Chain A
Amino acid sequence: MSILEITGMSKKYGSLHALQDITFSVEPGEWVSIMGSSGSGKSTMLNMIGLMDKPSTGEVSIDGIVTSSLSSKKLTEIRRDKIGLVFQQFHLIPHLTALENVMVAQYYHSMPDEKEAAAALGRVGLEGRSRHLPRQLSGGEQQRVCIARALINYPALILADEPTGNLDETNEKIVLDLFQELHSEGHTIIMVTHAPEVGELAERQIRLEYGKIREIRVPGKILI
Chain B
Amino acid sequence: MRKSRMFYRMLVSSFQLRKSRMLIALLAIIVGTAVISGLLSVYYDINVKMGMEFRSYGANLILTPSSDSQQNVFPESTAQEIAGVFPQQNVVGYTSNLYGLVKINSRRLVVVGTWFDQISKITPYWELTGTLDTDRKASGTAFVGKTVSDKLGYKIGTVLPLKDEVTGNEQKVTVTGIISSGGTEDNQIFINLSDAQKLFHQEGLANAAYFSVTGEGIDAAASTINVKYPQMELSPIKQISGSEAVMLKKISSLVYIVVVIILLSTLLCVATTMMTMVMERKQEIALKKVLGAQNKALSLEFLSEAGVLALAGTLAGLFFGYFLAQVIGQSVFQSAISFRWAVIPLVTVTALLVAGLASLIPLRSVIGIEPAVVLKGE
Contact = CB atoms under 8 A, between A and B. Distances in A.
Interface string A40-53: 00010001001011
A124 interface: no
A111 B9 contact: no
Contacts of A158: none
A100 B288 contact: no
A23 B248 CA distance: 79
Interface stretch (A30-38, A88-96, A183-191, A210-218): A88-96
Contacts of B71: none
A85 B376 CA distance: 13
B6 A95 contact: no
A16 to B, nearest CB: 15
Contacts, number: 73
Interface string A174-195: 0000000000000000000000
Given A87-B375, A89-B378, A105 B291 contact: yes
Interface string A145-175: 0000100000000000000000000000000
A105 B378 CA distance: 22
B291 A43 contact: no
Interface string A68-106: 000001001101110001010101011110001001110
Nearest to B296: A73
Interface residues of B, number: 30
Nearest to A152: B291
Contact of A112 (B3, B14, B290, B292): B3
B372 A95 contact: no
Contacts of A100: 6, 9, 13
Contacts of A132: none
Given A73-B294, A104-B10, A95 B16 contact: yes
Interface of B: 2-3, 5-7, 9-10, 13-14, 16-17, 283-284, 286-295, 297, 370-372, 375-376, 378
26 contacts: A43-B376, A50-B290, A52-B372, A76-B292, A76-B294, A79-B290, A87-B375, A89-B375, A89-B378, A91-B286, A91-B375, A93-B284, A94-B17, A94-B284, A95-B14, A95-B17, A96-B13, A107-B3, A107-B10, A108-B288, A108-B291, A108-B292, A111-B2, A112-B2, A112-B3, A112-B6
Given A81-B292, A93-B284, A109-B291, 10 more contacts: A52-B290, A73-B295, A91-B287, A100-B13, A103-B6, A104-B291, A107-B10, A111-B2, A113-B2, A149-B291
Interface of A: 43, 47, 50, 52-53, 73, 76-77, 79-81, 85, 87, 89, 91, 93-96, 100, 103-105, 107-109, 111-114, 149
